[in-house]
Structures are given as C-alpha cells and as structure tokens.
Structure 1
Amino acid sequence: MVLAMSRPSRHPKTGIFWLRKRVPSDLVARVGRAIEYFSLQTREPGEAKQRHAEAVARLEARWAELRCGEPAAGPGATTDATPSPRSLSEREAGERAGWMYAHWLGLHRENPSQQRFWPTDLYRHLWRSPGGRIEHKEDGRTAVRAVLSFAQAEKVAELEAWCRDQAETVLALHDVEADEASVLRVAKAVAAQVQRASLTLAALARGEPGVGPAPVATAAPAAKPAKAVGLIELVEAWWREAERTGKSESTRESYTNTFKQLVAFLKHDEAYRVTVEDVRRFKDHRLATRKPNGQLLSPTTVKNSDLAALKSVFGWGVANGRLGENPATDVTVARVSKVRLREREFTAEEARRLLEAASTMERGRELPQTHAAKRWIPWVLAFTGARVGEIAQLRRQDLRKEAVEGHPNGVWVLRITPEAGRVKTKHAREVPLHAQLVEMGFPEFVAGATGERLFLVPDAKGDIAGPLRGLKNRLSEAAREHVDDPGVSPNHSWRHRFRTVATESGVSGNVIDAICGWSAKSVGERYGSVTLKARADAIARLNRIEV
C-alpha cells in the first residue's frame, strides 16, 4: 500500500506546515476525495509535529468509524475489490514527475533569487545514510565526524518528506495505487526535477548568459485526471462547503461571476487545463475591461475580487483532490497607490447638507420603505458608525429599550445581528441610540412599521440580497445629489466621520471599536468586554447635529 506521511510538510512559499494524507482506496468514494490536505496553521516545527499527530489520529479514527458503519456483505453479495498496488518502473516514475520541472520554474521565475526552499547543495544527501567521515587525531585516537550538521540533517529529512508528499499526490490524481518502492521512485524523480529547476533558477539569478526564460508552468501534470472537473462545477462544489463555514451569498455570486468570465475568456470549461499563463492572460484581460460608466476596472478590484476568487476556489480544488496544482497561487496585481486629496470622512458642512436633505425629503412614487430609508438611514449612520447594509436590513425586533445605570429614562438599543442579514464580522453587537434620534421619533417609526423589515421588501423567495443591493445603490444616488466629491463614499464616509467625531468627544478607542464592530488590535484588547453602560455613556457624549 502507499506509505502514509509520517511528518508534516512545509509549504515552500509561506513556511506554514500542512498535513497531506492519502485516503484509503476503499474509502475514497465515501469520503469524497482522494487526499486529505489542510493547513496545520503554524510555522513552528515542534507544534506542527504535535498537531500533525493529533490530526492523523482523528482521520484514522474517522476512517475506522466509516468502515465499522459499512453493512456486512451477505451470502452471495459482491464487493468492489481493492486494486492491488502497482509497481512502477524508473521510466514510469520519471514520467509521473516530469511536470515538476516546468512547475517549479513557473513558481519562481519572476524572482529566481527568492527560491530558498530547495538548497541545491543538499540534493546529493537525499535518501542516503547520514554516515560520517573518520578523522585521525594527533594522539592516535580516531573519531567519526558527521557530514551534515543537525540543521542540515533536519532540512534533508524535510525535503525527503516533501518529495514523498508530492509523489503521493500525483499518484492519487492519476488514480494509481502504487507499492512502497514505486512511491519512493516517484519521490526521487520529483527531487531530480526540482534540483534541475533550482539550478536553472540559480543561474537566472546570477544573470548568466545562455539561460533561456523559464517555461510556463502547467496547473497540473500533463495527463488528464481520471475524473476531470469543470470550472463551474468546481466553484459550485466549493460553495457547498463554503456555505457551511459562513461565507456570504454575495461572495458566492462574485466568485461564480468570475468563473463564468474565465470560461468565456478561455472558451472551455475544463479546470485541469487552466495554466499559470492562462490566469495571467485573464488578469490582463480584466485590467483592460471597462465598467458600464466607461472607466477601467481598478487593479484593486481585479486583485481582491477576480484573483481572490481564483486562488480560493482552485486552492480548495487542490486541497480536496480535484486538481493537481493551483494555477493562480503566484499571480497578483501590483499595488497602486491612490492619490488622496482629502480625508475620507464627510466634513461638518457635508454631513449637515445630507442630514438636512434627509429630513426634508418628500416621498415620490417610490415604495414607503425606500422613502423611510432615505429619511432615517443617514441619521442612524451618523450616530452609530454602522455599515449601511447593517442598518438597511434592520427588523422591528432589532430595537428595544433597556434599563441602564446612570440613564434614568432607559436606553433604546439597536441590535446589529447576523440573524437579520450579512454582518461582516459575523458577530452581533448592540449600539445605543443617541438622544437626538429618540427625540426625532425613530422608536415610534420602528413601532409603526407594517412589515418585519424597516427599509426593505424581500423578494418572492423571502431573500433580501437583491433588494438590499438595490437600496444601497439608491441611497448612494440620493447622497450624490448633495455631495458629489469622488473623494468620499456616499454611504461609507459616515463610518469614517463617526470615529473622528467620537474621538473628538473623548470616547476611548476600544469603545469606538465595540460600537462600530471593529476587531481588537491587540491580544490585550480581546480580554474583557465593553458593557452596554460604557457604550451608552459614549453615545451620550456625542454632540447634537443641528441642520
């Protein structure tokens, strides 16, 4: 049978240790993947070994449970025979590892001097006994001196484990059940290809003449996988798991759109055929794409939306045995420094104009919920620092009155919660209402709402994603009628202004973070909590806004 990994493998780029273990062939169908592959989330070798051992124990216990849960075969029943391990010749092993040369060059060709994972001087020590050399001392005694230092021996062991890791993965992708000797042959062939590529990279780094450009890396071994997966199929499979981990519907929509655009660009839907060069060409295509207003897509959008989608979904495909390599791993967009001509928050005059317009806005032919949003949401943003979507999706039950020490008339409290819709941090928080909002009648407005949602009408399926997106756009359009400076965001600049105003009012940073839903900046700030009284006291310190 194929050897199981006995130690964690270090990622050659990030230095983070990973577990990669082949699923027993009789359980692949039930587990749904051929390789278990996930990060151990540490760069410390000792910690990685402990986590690796614990993870392997959990995997093997789970596999044992799966086997115990299988129904016993009755008389005359047939079972699928487990394929016997194959023996690969050195030629076959070399063919299985041949793709690694181009892949390794492709990973590092932009900055060949930064390839430090594979030290070429240690290659000759792989899979050899550490041994030592005999030294004769002047007093007639002899001693054996180790050829390698302890650190070098550790690195050799790491490289051997990594090569075996790659060998097991490529054999699994080709659905080859190999014997122990064959796995070792493939691992040695992988090492030879990486050594050859690393020597080429070293020559490139020295600028030696006669060394041509590195070949384009392929996304996977040249052979087509036994079970090829389509690009759209891949992103849909990713979503089935991502949804359970809390990814938002908007992320699904964004990632799916990116993959549809990739299919249209490449004119095929086969994930295994996508190469690093394909991803680079797609990146360039997106950078040359214009939005409906005629402006080019920003490099930030291409990097944080398109490339983020490709990296995440292809990475999931590798981790779950659907793909051999992630072709988007090292593709990026150069950071562009934006020219900023002003601060990102509204000025006092801009805030006053927007709030005055909100207070005097007359309802046209729009829905009552839309008119209410234009009337109330700017005011609520001004006194809470919340994200516009968090307020736009509010429900009647998200406002209540609480007795709070030091506030004899009680405090009206907004609960911003993932139960109502998307919250970026996925954590609920409570924000007291400012007295000016109470005097203006916001609690009475909430109590008189006819539907559950204060500012939205869900679609026929009860979803709010589409209506929410439309409402945010209408709020932006309304704000732009009064503040058209492109240096500020028509909705998000309220959040910037809130921090500035709260800081001027003497509110401490950790209380502002708690009100706005920002994460703690240090370990110390994660201890303890900001009480509702502390938040209410902070909101009470904010000055009224006269319009």
Structure 2
Amino acid sequence: MALKMPSPVKDRHGTYYLRRRVPKDLLAHVGRPAIRRSLETKNAAEAKLRMTRALADLDAEWANYRSGSTTLTEREAHDLARPLHDELVARFIDNPSLRDTWFEHLYERVWFIEWDDSVFEDQRFFEDANLFCMMFMYSISSLELNRLIAQKKLYICKKSHWLLLKAVGDAFQRAHKVLNKLSQGYELPTKLEERIKLIGMNGRSEVKVPKFNAQQEALANHGPTSKKLSLLFDDWWQEAAQRGIKKSTYLSYKSTFENFIKFLGFDDMLSVRSTHVIAFKKLSIEYAIF
C-alpha cells in the first residue's frame, strides 16, 4: 500500500505551509515533534509544486541527521563561510562607506570570551561600550551561522560548530577590511572581483546613496541649534507633552533612545546612518537585548 503524501495546509491568512511529524529516531536532533515550514504562496497549484520540493529537502535534511554528524576542518569551515564575505563586499562595493555596522578594532577580542546564556544577562556587557560591541558582533555571526547551517542542511559536531562560527565572523571581518580599503580609494583585488561577478551581482551594489528631501536639506544646512540626539529627543518631548502624550510613553521612548546612543557610541544626530538603525533594530528584535 503506497504511503499518502502530506498535503499543503492553509493558515488563517491563506498562506500554505508544510507540516510533518518528526520521526522518533530524530526527535533528539530536531528538538520538536513536528516541522512546520511556510510554502510562501496562497496559490493551491503552486503550493503543491513547492510541497514536493520542500518534502525532498526535508528528507535530505533528515538523511544528514541519520548519517551522523560531520567533522569540519578549519579550511572547510572557511570555504563554507567565504560566500558571506563575497556577498557583503558585493552589496557595498559601490558605496563602501555605507556598509553595515562592525567594529574591526575589537573583533579579535570576541573569541577570548566564553559565550553562553549568562553573558547576555551580565550587566557589564550593557554598561561597557567595548563589551557591548563585541556581543553585537558575536550575535550577528551566530545569526548568520544558523542561516548557513539551515541553507546547507549541515549536521556538524560541537567542535565544528565553533570552527564554522568563527569562520563566519572572520568572513565578515575580512569583508569590512576590504570595504574600508575601498572607501579610501584602493582597488578591489582581481581574484575577489572575479568571485563577486560569479555570485550574479556583477560587482554592483544594491545600496543607494541616500538623497535628502527639502526638509532634511534644511535641517542639515541650518539647524537645529544642537546636533545631539539626546537634545533632539528632549525637543520632541516638549511638543509631545503639549499634545497630551503620557509621561509613561516618554519614559519608554527615552530608554530606547538612550540605548540607541549607547549602541552608537556617539551622540551626533547628523552622523546617524540607516545601517545604524537597522543594526540596532536587529539586535533589539532578534536577540531581545533591549
């Protein structure tokens, strides 16, 4: 008797997803009794096609688990992480000064810390700017490691997990060093330029140079009297209080503003970039640090 293939399930928003029970022998590896993955479509016919591919991917992933964990060499870890380096350089190659937040001068110190759950509850990491920046780089590296493992369907031992985590961080560190050089007018190394063309971006950045609208132009050219973020917030509250905004809202916003300034390491309104805001938001939402 042929086994019945699972059918796509529709959620309350009309989007189809795959749901499949985890085999008993893999429960310890997967950590939950069932897998649920969005098929990212509301079209029934398209959902059936995507379901077939998703099931094949899931079977391959479970086969990896059953074959046992893989041990990576240091070289293999760097080979796996290298595309992250190339993609980051490619994104910002035209405007390298607009690259994401990273703290190159502190990077080597990241790996002298024993990162566990207690670290993220240690108040020192929120009071000391250098420790906070190192925690930020470790968190970003961990996030990208998890995506890489999911994308490659890797099942690796604990030692290899650490090697690959550091290789991911190293890839970002090298990319930021390259972008820093490019921002000073240096040329891209030939081999790297060839690799970037191969990833389908033709060496062109997706980052656009921001353009000021009339209001922003006036702000940049003429005011305000102080360019401090903290005083800008105080100016906002003076207006907001007159409109009846509650004091509790002010205190909540003020705490967020103070954490943002601590994250930036400066209090200059006109030095803030969109990448700073994105990085702060990622740290706040995905890691619940604030």
Task: Please tell me the TM-score bracket, short chain as reference.
Answer: 0.3 to 0.5
State the TM-score, normalized to the length of structure 2.
Answer: 0.43
- Greater RCO between the two (CA within 8 Å, min separation 6)? 2
Identify the structure with the greater helix proportion: 2
